[in-house]
Every structure is written in structure tokens, then in C-alpha cells.
Amino acid sequence: MALAILCSGQGGQHAGMFDLTGDAPQAEALFAHASALLGHDPRTLVKRAERETLHVNRTAQLLCTLQALSAAALLDNVLPNRRCVAGYSVGEVAAWGVSGLIGAAETLDLVAARAGVMNAASRGDEGMLFIRGLGKASIEQLCSGREAAIAICNPADAWVLGGRRAALNAIAEEASRLGAARIVSIPVNVPSHTYLLADASVAFSHLLADIRLQPSPTMGTRLFSGIDGDSVLDAKNDVNKLALQISHPIQWARCLDGCVEAGATAFLELGPGRALAEMAAGAYPHIPARSVDDFRSVQGIVDWLSRLT
């Protein structure tokens, strides 16, 4: 079988997110490195910190990346060799680590730097908004003339917008009048994947020029880029897409399509949360989709995979 591994973005952080991975010997060095970056042991932090602390941009990005990397390290020997890997928002940086193109510790360092340049380019009055049930033309019209733009294109007319809070509030009100099925403010305080972070893309591209890259993903692994859904064939050339995606919309629906076209017969989201697994299940109801958060043990994941072959 071929497994599509999905690396989660911000939003799903929770107290139990490291329950499966926190004591794994394979991930101990990762937790130590993340502790140095965060100033706290992340396993303790998620259980004791207030919700607002877990959603601070830098902290959130590091926690979500750590979850992806630690889950991948723990599960590496039990997952099928044929893998597609795609990451949602900051999860795309994690995906480069999961696919073997960037070292795990360096991936965490890179995410900390990414959060820094994004924070520096933000004014403090921005956020993100989820809208489902309106077509792309309607969403673009809602953003027109306002300091907001489409940030992520999900399947089935589900959109994430980024922009100034005032603009997003106005868009939410108008989207409700237009009959949007769901409108939810996302606990992210930067306008990720929009033109408002153009300066952050430039700054991050300079940082990417100095990282150590493997020439290709781990054998049997196919990695997809968020801004276009294309396969990463030339790491040295394609790595700058990680900079571009900070200020350009993520084409997540295309990423899921790419995984299926590459032969994926199941989806596994590394977490935290299960938003990506739910989107995959909605887009491809005939393909099994689960999240690590669904399981209480590695054996549970092994048993689920064994039933699929």
C-alpha cells in the first residue's frame, strides 16, 4: 500500500498531543531540542499552559512541528515504505523534515526562525478566518477592496482567509448574509499565506539559502509543495517554495489530489488534531483517513494499517 502522511498546521494543539510520542526513545532528542527553543519541556507545557499560550504564533508552530517529527520518528519502522507526504501551513516545513530532506533538529530551528520573520512582518491586528459554503468568486469579492485575501484553498468550497481583523470581521458579517454554511475565527494571530507577509517571505528565503538539504526525499517518499500541489523533484530549487508559501495561498485541495494520483490508498494525519484527516475523508470518502490523535497506542495504528492491506 501507499500511505499519504499529512503534517498538521496550527490550531489543534491540546493537552494530550504528546501522549503517544512523549516517552518514545526515538523522539527524546527532539523533545530536548524543542525544550531549548521553547524554554519549557513541551510535554509539560501543553498540559499546564493556558490555551492562549499554546496558540502564540512561535509556540504553536514549534509544537505542531514537534508533533509531526516525533510521530514520524516513532512510527517510521511500522509505516509502509511507499509514502506521500504533504504539510498544511507550517506543516509543510515539518513535511520536509518528515520526508528526510532536512534534519529534524534543523527543521525545528527553521520553524522558530519562520515564526520570527512572520511576527516581525505583522502589525498585531491580523488574524485568520474560516468560511465554508461559498464559491471562490464570492470569497474573492468579499476580500476585494479590503486588507484580506484567500490564504488556504481546501476541498469543497472551504476557505481560510488571512488579513486585518477589521477586514475579517466585516467579511464574516457579509458571508453570513450570503448564506455561508460555517464561519469560524481561527486562533492564529498572523495573516499567513497572504500578501501582507511579503516581507517575511523575502526574509525567510535568505535563511533557506543556508540550510543543509538532502538531494532527494527518503527512498519511496514523494513530497508535495503547498503552493501548487506539485511534487518536489529538485530540493535545492524547490525549497524556496517554503518561503513563497508564507505570502501565497496554500492549494491544499491540490495536495490531496496529488497524493491520490500518486497512488495513496490511505491517509494518516500526524496531528495535533484531525482536521486534515476529516478533509481527506470528505474529499475522498472511499479512502480510509485517520489521525494519530485517534489512537491510544502505536499498536493501534499498526492494526489499522494491517486491516487496509
Q: 209-255, pLDDT tens digit by residue?
A: 999 999 889 999 999 999 999 999 999 999 999 999 999 999 999 99
Q: List 5's β-bridge partners, or say none.
A: 85, 268
Q: 95 and 205: one domain? A: yes
**Domain's final residue, options 186, 208, 231:** 186
pLDDT surpasses 90 at 309: no
For the domain that residue 206 is a member of, what is the CATH number? 3.40.366.10
pTM: 0.97
Both 112 and 249 in a single domain? yes
Separation in Å, CA 156 to CA 184, 185, 197, 276, 284: 16, 19, 26, 13, 11
Report the run of H or E that residue 231 belongs to, with start and end.
none
Q: Are residues 117 and 130 in the same domain?
A: no
Residues 109 and 251 in one domain: yes
Do residues 85 and 53 touch, judged by C-beta distance below 8 A?
Answer: no
Q: What is the pLDDT of residues 166-192, one digit of tens each?
A: 999 999 999 999 999 999 999 999 999
Domain check: are 137 and 241 in the same one?
no
User: pLDDT (tens digit, 9 = 90+) per residue, 122-160?
Assistant: 999 999 999 999 999 999 999 999 999 999 999 999 999
Quick one: how far is CA 146 from the chain centroid? 26
Indicate the number of domains in the chain. 2
> CB under 8 Å to 101, separation ≥6 — which residues?
213, 214, 216, 217, 223, 232, 235, 239
Q: Are residues 178 and 205 in the same domain?
A: no
My answer on whether 216 and 109 are in the same domain is yes
* Integer Cα distance of 6 and 223 in angstroms: 10
Q: Domain check: are 164 and 304 in the same one?
A: no
Output the domain CATH number for residue 178: 3.30.70.250
- Whole-angstrom Cα distance, residue 226 to residue 220? 20
**Residues 28 and 135 placed together within one structural domain of the fold:** no
**Domain shared by 131 and 118, yes or no:** no
Query: Which range of residues forms the domain containing residue 204?
Result: 2-122+195-308
Angle in degrees, 0-180, between the axes of helices 275-283 and 252-261, rounded to the nearest 10: 60
**CA-only gyration radius of the chain, Å:** 18
- Note whether 260 and 207 are same-domain residues: yes
Same domain, 40 and 136: no
Q: Dump pLDDT digits (tens) for 57-91.
A: 999 999 999 999 999 999 999 999 999 999 999 99
